[in-house]
C-alpha cells in the first residue's frame, strides 16, 4: 500500500462519505496501520500537535508601553533638556514616562497565550490499533489512517470518522456551542451539514460523555477543526481600541501644534524682538515643556486602572487595560447563548398530558419552583391533575442523580435526564423514596439507534411496570393507548403530533413517556417486550432557559421590555450567535426580548452569502443559529464594517477567533475554556450577561472621566504656554545682568505645576461616579475625536482666563516693587489656585455645580484639594523647594488676591455653561 502525503490525500467531506470510501481514500483498513506505515506518515504529516504561539518577553512588553505619540513627545523633551543640561527637567520628564509604562505593564500582566491554551485541550494519549493489536500511544504520534477506540471520559485525540458506535455521546460545546452532548452515528451525513450536525465525526479536543466508539483518524494537528481554529486565531488581526485611535490622532495634532507654536515664538523673538537665538531656543523649549501635558498619559492609565477595579467588583475582570474604555463605546453586543444568556442547565418547562398542559416554573438544577395550570399555581402532590404518576415515571426511568451539598445542587448524569429528576423534586417527590417503592429490576439503556431507554420496576403490591422514555415518534409507534384522568383511551396520534409541534416551536426539546403493566414474575427485559402494548403518559418540553438577569439586562440595554424610546436612547443592539438549532435560538431570543427574534439566519444560509451581502443582512438580523467559528468571525467583521464597535461573548474554543477580532472580547470565567479566556479582553467571573451591562456602564463612566481629566489638564498647559508666548510677543520678559532672557515662569516651575495638578487634582476626576444619564444616551461614534468643538472652546476659554490672571498678577506685583522671585511665585500659585477652583467646574462638563452638595460630595475631590494645598505651601515656603524652584514666601494679601481670582474663574466657567446650555436648547 502506498502512503499518502499531506498533498496527496484528497479533499473529502469525511462526514458525508461511507466508511468504506473513507478507508480507501485515507489508505487504511480495520486492522490498522503497521508500525512502518505509521512512522512514514508521522514523518510526512508531522506530530499531532498545534503550533506554539510566539511570546513577547517581559522586556519587549515593557518597551511597548512607550509606543505612544505623547510619550515620544515627552522623551523628545527630555532629550532636549538633557542636551541643555537642565537635569532636573530631564529627571522629572523621564520619571513620568517610566511610571506610566510601569502602570501599563503591571495592568496588562501576561501576554496572550491563546494558542498555548488550545494546545492544552488536546488529548495526551490514545488507544489505537497497530499491526492488528490494541496499544496506547502518545496522542502526538497519531497519524491519518490510525484506528482509534473511544470510551466515556476520553478526550478525542484527533478528527475521527466513526465506523462503529455504541451509545456514543460527545460533549462538543467548546467547539460547536451545542449545549447538550451529541449522539454519534456511523452513517454518512448530508454533505451540507454544519459542524454541529456532523454526527458521524468526533472532533479533536472534545469529550466523550457516554458510550463507546471506534473510528479512523482523518486529520491531525493543524488540519483538525481545532487546528483550523488555532490557525485562524493566529491570523486574526487585533484591532486598535477607539480610545487609542483617538489618543493617537490627538497626540499628532497636539505635537504639530506645539512644534508650530514653539517655532513661531522662536522666530518672533529672534527676528522681531531681537533676542539672541540661544536664549530664544531655551524659551521655545520652555514653551514646549509648558504645552506638553506630561501628566496626561499617567492620568489616562490610572483612570483606566480604577475602572478595572470597579469592574472587578461587578464580576467583570479586565485583561487588557484599553478594553475598559472601549466598553463604553460598544454599539453592538454579540452574545453566545449557552451560559451567558442562558443558564446552561436543562430545565423541564412544559408537561403535556392528554387532558392538560402544565407550565413548570424555576430554572436550573435547584428544585425551586412549581407547576402552573391555566396560569394558576397547583400542587401536584395533593391535587388530582394526573400529573404525579407522570413525574414519578420520568424519575424512575432515569439514570441521573441530583446531589445536594450545602446550597449547591449538582447533577450526575445527562442534562436532559437531570432536568426530569428536578421536575419530580419540584412536585415534592423524593428520588430515593420512589426507587424504594418501585425498585428497578432491569434496564435497556438509551442508544442512538433506538432513541429510547426502558426500565422494569416492581411495586410492593405485586405489580410490575415497564417505563419507556425517549424520542416521541419512537414511543408513539409502540403505544396503543393514552392515559387521561378518566381512564385509558386509544392513542390520538394527530393530537400528539400537533402538541409536539407547538411545544417544539418554542425551542423546547421533546421527550415522550409511556408505561406498560406486565406479569409480576418478570425479572428481566427483552427488546421484544418493547415492541407494543404501551400506554402514552405525557410529553415533556425541555429547554436551556434564559437567565433572569439576562432578561433584565437586555431590557436595560435594548429597551425591548421597557420602551422603544429607551431602546433608541441606549443605542446598543444585542445579537445572539449560537451553535444551537434555529428553533431553540428563536425561543430564547423571544423570551429574552432580543429585537428581531422572528428572523433567524443559520450558518448554512450564511455560508452561501458573500461578505458584501452579509454586511447588508447583518443590520436587520439579530439571531444567528448553527454557527461555526468561521461564521462567528465573519459576523463580527461584517458588523464592524458597518462602523459599529462590537463586543463578543463566548466560552468555547470555537469562539476564540471572534473574541480576538471583536473590539471587546468577553469570555466566561466559570464555564469558559482557557483558549476563550486568553483570546479575550474581559472575563465574566459569573458568566452573566447582566455583568456586561454593568461593564458597559463603567466603560462609559471611565470615558466621561477621561474627558473630564483632559478638559481639566489642557487649560493648565494652555495657560502656561500662553504666559511664555505673551512674555515674548508683548516684550514682558526680563533680561538679567548676564544678558539671559528670564521668563515669568521657569521650566522647572512649569513641570512642577503640571505634575502636582495631574497627580492630585486631575486624579480626583478618575474617581467620579456615573452620571445619571450615562445609560440613557447612545454610545459615542467610533470616530468621535476626544476634543469636540465645544471642548476645544472650553480649553481656550479657561486657558485665557488663567493666563490673564497669572500674567496680570505677575505684572501687578512687579509694578508694586516686588522682585522676580516674588512675582514668579505669585504667578505660579495663581495658576495652581485657579486650577483648584476649576476642578469643581470640571466635575460636570455641561451641568451646573452651584450647590454645596456638588462641591463637597466627592471625597476624592476633598482629599486632592487638601493634598494640593499642602504641596503648594511646601513649594512656596520650604527652603529646599525655594532653592530648587526659585520661590519665596508670600504675604496674606497676595494669597487673598490669588483666592479671589480662583472664585472669579469658577463663576465665569459656570456662567459659560449656562450660556452654552441655552444655545443648545
CB atoms within 10 A of CB 239: 18
∠ Cα 278 279 285 (to 5°): 90
**How many Cα neighbours within 13 Å face the side chain of 8?**
9
Cell 499642602 belongs to residue: 870
Sort strands 440-444 and 534-543 into parallel, antiparallel or unpaired: unpaired
Q: How far apart are the first and last CA of the chain?
A: 84
Of 197, 336, 580, 651, which residue is the catalytic one? 336
The one-character DSSP state at 272 is T
Q: Are 875 and 885 in contact (CB under 8 A)?
A: yes
Residues 670, 651: Cα–Cα separation, whole Å = 9
Residues 336, 179: Cα–Cα separation, whole Å = 11
Phi-psi sector, 451: left (phi>0), alpha (psi -120 to 50), beta = left
CA distances from 238 to 241, 319, 392, 696, 915 (A): 9, 14, 54, 20, 44
Active site residue 336: yes
CA–chain centroid gap for 288, Å, is 41
- Strand segments, DSSP code E, in 192-312 are 201-202, 207-219
User: Of 589, 626, 591, which Cα lies nearest the Cα of 606?
Assistant: 626
Residues 377, 472: Cα–Cα separation, whole Å = 27
CA–chain centroid gap for 732, Å, is 56
Residues 653, 730: Cα–Cα separation, whole Å = 66
Give start and end residues of each alpha helix (H) in 512-628.
548-558, 564-570, 582-592, 603-607, 611-617
Maximum separation of any 2 CA atoms in the chain, in Å: 123
Residues 203, 486: Cα–Cα separation, whole Å = 51
Cell 392515559 belongs to residue: 483
User: Of 223, 171, 242, which Cα lies nearest the Cα of 202?
Assistant: 171
Residue 366, beta-bridge partner list: none
User: Of 822, 831, 810, which Cα lies nearest the Cα of 889?
Assistant: 822
CA–chain centroid gap for 63, Å, is 27
CB atoms within 10 A of CB 812: 13
Give start and end residues of each alpha helix (H) in 109-224.
114-119, 173-176
∠ Cα 547 551 554 (to 5°): 130
User: Of 333, 323, 331, which Cα lies nearest the Cα of 241?
Assistant: 323
CB atoms within 10 A of CB 458: 19
CA–chain centroid gap for 154, Å, is 30
Radius of gyration in angstroms for the set of CA atoms belonging to the chain, rounded to a whole number: 36
Locate 61 and state its grid cell: 512588553
DSSP annotation string for 726-755 = HHHHTT--EE-TT--EE-SS-HHHHHHHHH
CA distances from 202 to 150, 160, 217, 427, 728 (A): 10, 5, 9, 39, 78
Length of the chain: 921
User: Of 641, 665, 708, 674, which Cα lies nearest the Cα of 322?
Assistant: 665
CA distances from 117 to 159, 205, 678, 739 (A): 19, 12, 7, 67
Q: Which residues are catalytic?
A: 336
Amino acid at each position: 500500500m502506498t502512503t499518502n502525503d499531506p498533498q496527496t490525500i484528497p479533499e473529502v467531506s469525511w462526514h458525508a462519505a461511507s466508511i468504506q470510501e473513507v478507508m480507501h481514500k485515507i489508505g487504511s483498513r480495520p486492522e490498522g496501520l503497521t508500525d512502518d506505515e505509521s512512522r512514514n506518515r508521522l514523518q510526512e504529516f508531522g506530530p499531532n500537535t498545534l503550533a506554539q504561539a510566539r511570546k513577547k518577553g517581559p522586556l519587549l512588553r515593557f518597551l511597548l508601553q512607550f509606543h505612544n505619540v505623547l510619550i515620544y513627545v515627552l522623551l523628545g523633551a527630555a532629550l532636549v533638556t538633557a542636551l541643555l543640561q537642565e537635569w532636573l527637567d530631564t529627571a522629572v520628564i523621564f520619571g513620568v514616562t517610566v511610571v506610566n509604562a510601569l502602570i501599563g505593564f503591571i495592568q496588562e500582566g501576561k501576554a496572550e497565550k491563546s494558542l498555548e491554551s488550545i494546545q492544552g485541550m488536546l488529548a495526551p494519549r490514545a488507544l489505537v490499533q497497530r499491526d492488528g493489536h490494541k496499544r496506547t500511544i502518545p496522542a502526538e504520534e497519531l497519524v491519518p489512517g490510525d484506528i482509534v477506540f473511544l470510551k466515556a471520559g476520553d478526550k478525542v485525540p484527533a478528527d475521527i470518522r466513526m465506523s462503529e458506535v455504541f451509545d456514543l455521546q460527545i460533549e462538543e460545546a467548546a467547539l460547536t456551542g451545542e449545549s447538550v452532548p451529541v449522539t454519534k452515528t456511523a452513517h454518512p451525513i448530508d454533505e451540507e451539514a454544519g459542524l454541529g450536525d456532523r454526527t458521524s465525526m468526533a472532533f479533536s479536543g472534545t469529550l466523550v460523555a457516554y458510550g463507546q466508539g471506534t473510528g479512523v483518524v482523518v486529520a491531525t494537528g493543524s488540519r483538525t477543526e481545532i487546528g483550523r481554529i488555532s490557525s485562524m486565531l493566529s491570523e486574526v488581526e487585533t484591532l486598535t481600541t477607539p480610545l487609542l485611535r483617538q489618543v493617537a490622532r490627538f497626540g499628532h495634532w497636539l505635537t504639530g501644534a506645539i512644534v508650530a507654536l514653539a517655532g513661531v515664538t522662536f522666530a518672533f523673538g529672534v527676528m522681531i524682538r531681537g533676542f539672541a537665538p540661544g536664549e530664544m531656543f531655551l524659551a521655545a523649549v520652555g514653551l514646549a515643556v509648558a504645552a506638553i501635558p506630561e501628566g496626561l498619559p499617567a492620568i489616562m492609565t490610572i483612570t483606566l486602572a480604577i475602572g478595572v477595579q470597579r469592574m472587578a467588583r461587578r464580576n467583570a475582570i479586565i485583561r487588557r487595560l484599553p478594553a475598559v474604555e472601549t466598553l463604553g463605546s460598544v454599539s453592538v453586543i454579540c452574545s453566545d447563548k449557552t451560559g451567558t444568556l442562558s443558564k446552561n442547565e436543562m430545565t423541564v418547562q412544559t408537561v403535556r398530558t392528554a387532558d392538560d398542559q402544565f407550565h413548570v416554573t424555576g430554572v436550573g438544577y435547584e428544585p425551586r419552583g412549581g407547576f402552573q395550570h391555566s396560569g394558576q399555581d397547583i400542587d401536584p402532590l395533593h391535587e388530582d391533575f394526573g400529573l404525579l404518576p407522570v413525574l414519578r415515571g420520568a424519575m424512575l426511568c432515569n439514570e441521573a442523580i441530583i446531589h445536594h451539598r450545602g446550597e449547591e445542587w449538582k447533577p450526575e448524569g445527562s442534562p436532559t435526564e437531570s432536568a426530569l429528576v428536578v421536575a419530580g423534586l419540584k412536585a415534592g417527590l423524593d428520588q430515593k423514596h420512589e426507587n424504594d417503592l418501585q425498585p428497578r429490576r432491569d434496564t435497556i439503556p438509551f442508544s442512538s439507534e433506538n432513541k429510547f431507554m426502558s426500565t422494569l420496576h416492581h411495586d410492593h403490591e405485586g405489580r410490575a411496570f415497564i417505563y419507556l422514555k425517549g424520542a416521541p415518534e419512537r414511543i408513539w409507534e409502540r403505544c396503543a393507548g393514552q392515559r387521561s384522568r378518566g381512564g385509558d383511551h386509544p392513542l390520538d396520534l394527530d393530537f400528539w403530533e400537533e402538541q409536539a409541534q407547538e411545544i417544539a416551536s418554542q425551542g423546547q426539546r421533546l421527550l415522550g413517556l409511556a408505561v406498560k403493566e406486565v406479569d409480576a414474575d418478570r425479572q428481566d427485559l427483552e427488546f421484544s417486550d418493547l415492541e407494543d402494548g404501551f400506554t402514552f403518559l405525557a410529553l415533556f418540553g425541555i429547554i436551556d432557559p434564559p437567565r433572569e438577569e439576562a432578561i433584565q439586562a437586555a431590557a436595560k440595554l435594548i429597551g425591548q421590555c421597557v420602551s422603544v424610546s429607551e431602546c433608541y436612547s441606549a443605542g446598543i443592539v444585542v445579537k445572539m450567535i449560537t451553535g444551537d438549532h434555529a428553533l431553540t435560538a428563536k425561543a430564547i431570543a423571544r423570551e429574552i426580548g432580543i429585537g428581531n427574534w422572528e428572523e433567524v439566519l443559520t450558518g448554512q444560509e450564511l455560508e452561501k452569502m458573500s461578505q458584501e451581502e452579509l454586511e447588508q443582512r447583518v443590520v436587520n438580523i439579530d439571531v444567528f443559529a448553527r454557527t461555526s467559528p468561521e461564521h462567528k468571525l465573519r459576523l463580527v467583521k461584517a458588523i464592524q464594517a458597518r462602523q459599529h464597535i462590537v463586543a463578543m461573548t463566548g466560552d468555547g474554543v470555537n469562539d476564540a477567533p471572534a473574541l480576538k477580532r471583536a473590539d471587546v472580547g468577553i469570555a466566561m470565567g466559570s464555564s469558559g475554556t482557557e483558549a476563550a479566556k486568553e483570546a479575550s479582553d474581559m472575563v465574566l467571573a459569573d458568566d452573566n450577561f447582566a455583568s456586561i451591562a454593568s461593564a458597559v456602564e463603567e466603560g462609559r463612566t471611565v470615558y466621561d472621566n477621561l474627558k473630564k481629566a483632559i478638559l481639566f489638564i489642557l487649560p493648565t498647559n494652555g495657560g502656561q504656554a500662553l504666559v511664555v508666548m505673551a512674555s515674548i510677543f508683548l516684550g514682558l520678559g526680563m533680561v538679567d545682568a548676564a544678558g539671559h532672557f528670564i521668563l515669568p515662569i521657569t521650566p522647572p516651575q512649569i513641570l512642577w505645576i503640571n505634575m502636582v495638578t495631574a497627580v492630585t487634582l486631575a486624579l480626583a476626576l478618575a474617581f467620579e461616579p456615573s452620571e445619571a444619564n450615562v445609560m440613557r444616551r447612545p454610545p459615542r461614534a467610533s470616530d468621535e475625536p476626544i476634543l469636540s468643538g465645544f471642548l476645544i472652546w472650553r480649553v481656550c476659554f479657561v486657558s485665557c482666563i488663567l493666563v490673564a490672571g497669572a500674567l496680570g498678577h505677575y505684572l501687578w506685583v512687579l509694578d508694586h516693587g516686588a522682585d522676580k522671585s516674588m512675582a514668579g511665585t505669585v504667578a505660579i500659585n495663581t495658576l495652581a489656585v485657579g486650577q483648584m477652583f476649576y476642578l469643581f467646574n470640571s466635575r460636570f462638563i455641561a451641568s451646573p455645580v452651584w450647590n454645596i452638595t456638588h462641591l463637597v460630595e466627592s471625597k476624592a475631590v476633598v482629599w486632592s484639594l487638601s493634598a494640593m494645598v499642602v504641596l503648594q505651601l511646601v513649594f512656596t515656603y520650604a527652603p529646599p523647594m525655594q532653592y530648587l524652584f526659585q520661590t519665596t514666601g508670600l504675604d496674606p494679601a497676595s494669597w487673598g488676591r490669588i483666592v479671589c481670582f480662583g472664585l472669579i474663574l469658577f463663576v465665569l466657567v459656570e456662567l459659560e455653561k449656562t450660556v452654552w446650555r441655552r444655545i443648545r436648547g
